[in-house]
Amino acid sequence: MKYFILIIFLLSSAYIFYEGLRDDPTYIPSNLISEEIPEFKIESIKQYESFSSADLKSGEIKVVNFFASWCPPCKVEHPQLKKLSEKYKLYGIAKKDEIRNLTKWLDDLGNPFVKIGLDKNGMTSIDWGVYGLPETFLIDHKGMIIHKHVGPIMKKDLEYINKLITNVK
């Protein structure tokens, strides 16, 4: 009996550690997945139409992108955002950005967003649990967050995002 307990104990500990080896401890999922989007307020920018949480709670599937003109990886994902904007409505939130730089950035690279707001002091980003730029959220027609993408969206990620959206539809 005692040997049996010993073996069970060793095997179960080994199982935990073995599973632990396959797990990436640095991966942190968002608490907001499958939750309704947080209430937020963003500043509007003259040339662009702004939005609020109410805008995201109805209608079709939307993509919310946190970006900034000072963020080089955001430039990397820009072509992919343009691709996405052909199919879906993109909402942009610029974090801690200067309006002048932001408009220049959008003029140079093109504007994929239907609406844009400015998160001047970064509070909205905190509410959304954003910890690095860029970050992208997929919102379903009821205003629930269905997916969060951390870091720039690359070409290979587009396929996954498209698949995810068709599944939800």
Partner 1 sequence: MTAEFGIFFLVLTFVISSLGFFSTITSGNKKKFLTLIHHEKISLLLFFFTILSFFCLTYSFLISDFSLNVVAKNSNSQLPTIYKITGVWGNHEGSILLWLLVMTFFGFLFSNSKIPDQNLKIQTLSVHNSLIFLVCTFVIFTSNPFERSFPPPIEGSDLNPLLQDPGLIIHPPMLYLGYVGFSIVYSISLAVLMLKKKTNFIEILKPWVFMSWIFLTAGIGLGSWWAYYELGWGGFWFWDPVENASLLPWLTASALIHTIMISSKKNLLINWTLLLSIITFLLSLLGTFLVRSGVLVSVHAFASDPTRGIFILLMLIIVSFSGLFYFLRRTELYSSKHQIKLVSREGAISLNNIFLISLTFTILIGTIYPLVSSIFFKSKISVGAPFFNSILTPVMVPMIFGMIIGPFLRWGNDDLLKLLNRLKILVFLFLFSSILLWYVNFGGPVIAIIFFIFAAWIIIASLFELTKFMNFKPKLRINSLPAKYFSQSISHIGIGLIIIGATGSSILKIEKIQFQEIGEIIKINQYDVEFKGVKVVEGPNFLSQTGVFEVSKDDAHVINLKPEKRFYNANKQVTTEAAIYSTIFGDLYIAIGDKNSIKNSVSWTTRIWYNPFTIWIWLGVFSLVTGGLISFFRVIKKKK
User: Which of 74, 80, 49 has the alpha carbon at shortest distance from 160?
Assistant: 80
Closer Cβ to partner 1, 30 or 44, answer by number? 30
Closer Cβ to partner 1, 22 or 169, answer by number? 22
Provide the total of helices (H) and of strands (E) in the chain, helices listed first.
Answer: 6, 5
Give min distance, CB of 9 to partner 1, in A: 8
Does position 8 interact with partner 1 (CB under 8 A)? The reply is no
- Contact, 45 vs 99, CB < 8 A? yes
Q: What mask of x and - would describe binding to partner 1 in positions 11 to 30, judged by CB under 8 A?
A: ---x-xxxxxxxx-xxxxx-
Under rule CB under 8 A, how many of the chain's residues touch partner 1?
Answer: 19
Does position 72 interact with partner 1 (CB under 8 A)? The reply is no
Q: Starting at the edge strand that comes first in sequence, how are the strands of the sheet with 135-139 ordered?
A: 115-119, 89-95, 62-67, 135-139, 145-150
Q: Terminus-to-terminus CA distance in the chain, angstroms?
A: 55
Among 6, 123, 154, 168, binds partner 1 (CB under 8 A): 6
Closer Cβ to partner 1, 19 or 86, answer by number? 19
CB atoms within 10 A of CB 167: 8
Closer Cβ to partner 1, 130 or 153, answer by number? 130
Give min distance, CB of 3 to partner 1, in A: 6
What residues between 108 and 127 interact with partner 1 by CB under 8 A? none
Q: Which helix (H) or strand (E) holds 87?
A: helix 72-87
- Contact, 112 vs 90, CB < 8 A? yes
List residues binding partner 1 (CB under 8 A). 2-3, 6-7, 10, 14, 16-23, 25-29
